[in-house]
Structure 1
Amino acid sequence: MRQIRLLAATGTAVAALALTACGSGTGTEDEGASQPKATADTPASKTPKGSTEGTGGRTANGTPVASTHTPRTHTPDARPSTAATRSGGSTGTGKSVVLCNGTNTSVTAQPLNRPLNHMLITVKNTSGKRCELPYYPVLRFDQMQWVPQADEETQPQAVVSLAPGESGYAGVLLSAADGSGTGGMTAHKLTVAFQGFTPNSSGGPSATPALPAKGVYYDSALKVTYWQQDLDAIAGW
């Protein structure tokens, strides 16, 4: 009888211990839960991503935020502007550019006594509009199969531009003064071709200025100058 009472007392004590453990939150069900649960009074340790305060660049807890925005820079147009389109069309100001050629000019070819073996080509603007003479004249005597080269040292700083009634000039070395030229012959016809705004492009119809009745002698030394605005630029060439 005493043994039964002892066992009953022992069971009652075990039950009391179990209830006490559950009420304190340290029972077997909480084993391994080392992190306490956050309460409503505990401030958040992390600021929500992208949260800022107004426009001052600060987080919700007042910490400055480093800006990741890169200012947009303006890149100028890399393409160079030109005074005229290379097709000989209109300029950026709406003004048209006209090329000098055989339709709007009069062209003469005059052999010179000095310098020896030289000839002067004169182009006069006979139209009512300004025209331009890019590069140099392309000459052809009779049925000549080669093109005389230009003296690069005579290239002007700007394209020759002729107002109505104005003239442009080019010099021609016909033959070597010391007789060193080869393939010499006498020509009775001269064709003067005009270039466009790109080298070796067509600037329009050619001109055929008259030559002296006796013709003009030329050889392999034949070369020309660039078009010039003033005659003085090639006076001593």
Structure 2
Amino acid sequence: MSARIARSRTRLLLTAGTAALAAFSLTACGGSDEGVKTEGKAAASITSPAGDTGPRQVPAGAAGSEEADGQETGKRADGGERTNGGERADDAASGARKAATGGSRTSTEPVTCTPRNTRITVTEVSRPVNHLLLTATNTGTRPCFAYGAPFLRFDEGHAALPVVRDSVPQAVVTLEPGQSAYAGVGTYSPDGHEDGTARTLGVLFADRNGESTGTEVKLPLPGEGVTVNSGAQVTYWQSDLDDALAW
């Protein structure tokens, strides 16, 4: 009887031990699964940190970096385009300025005074006696040079009046638009001869070589005409009226 009881207790202890071992094994397996899940969460937290509001994975970050570089490159390219465009604009503006400046130089470069760019008048003066005053006013848009002395002839005379050599100015007279040059015309000299009455005065300008410009202006003389003789003469162009009447 006691032997059966002892065997029964032994079986119970073995059964209990087996059950305990099985339970321990199940617990160990469950702990292993939970551990895997924890590693998964840890791996996820590396690629997407807690509190991040957007994807911060390395590939996306790398793409974002490339995009940023591209944007920076684009900015440089845009800047380059703007710079090139600015250079082109500056070149165009410079070209326009050069053209404008060249036009300005062309439009302000002095030319020869001629009847086309001047208005010529002749008036009789009281002093000195037997003198006329010839005035040439620049009516053009460019300055003009009044070279030498004007070529003058009374009526249909063939020879130009002699020039008073002592009246040569220190420099060529330059007329800005609106300015005038003057020449004194002596019509009569006591030492002259062949007195007569002239009713017109032909005027031609000289070029830089002292040659006639080829265009003559016929001016009517004051009153019924002017008494002239072979002593008539003309001064060089002067910038001052008094200088023109000094001879």
**TM-score, length-scaled by structure 2:** 0.54
| Structure 2 segments unaligned to the other structure (5+ residues) | 1-104
Q: Residues 155-186 of structure 1, C-alpha deviation per residue, up to 9 Å, x if partnerless?
A: 0011010000000000011001xx33111111
| Structure 1 segments unaligned to the other structure (5+ residues) | 1-92
Identity, % of aligned positions: 38
Alpha-carbon distance in 2 for matches of 1:146, 1:228: 22
Alpha-carbon distance in 1 for matches of 2:135, 2:242: 13
Q: Which amino acid aligns with 2:144?
A: C
Alpha-carbon distance in 1 for matches of 2:194, 2:187: 12
What is the SS of the residue equivalent to 2:242? helix
Maintained 8 Å contact 1:190/1:208: yes
Out of 125, 135, 145, which is 1:122 matched to? 135
The residue aligned with 2:199 is 188
How many residue pairs get aligned? The number is: 142
Q: Residues 122-175 of structure 1, C-alpha deviation per residue, up to 9 Å, x if partnerless?
A: 000011111110000110111112221111110001101000000000001100
Alpha-carbon distance in 1 for matches of 2:123, 2:159: 22
Alpha-carbon distance in 2 for matches of 1:146, 1:120: 20
The residue aligned with 1:209 is 219
Out of 198, 201, 210, which is 2:209 matched to? 198
Alpha-carbon distance in 2 for matches of 1:101, 1:204: 9
Alpha-carbon distance in 1 for matches of 2:215, 2:111: 13
The structure carrying a bigger helix percent of its residues is: 2
The residue aligned with 1:228 is 238
The residue aligned with 1:133 is 146
Q: Residues 184-222 of structure 1, C-alpha deviation per residue, up to 9 Å, x if partnerless?
A: 1111111101111112x1235222223123011110101
Alpha-carbon distance in 2 for matches of 1:113, 1:232: 13
Give the aligned CA root-mean-square deviation in angstroms.
1.7
Q: Which amino acid aligns with 1:219?
A: N
1:1-237 equivalence runs, <5 A: 96-176=109-189, 179-199=190-210, 201-237=211-247
Structure index of larger Rg: 2
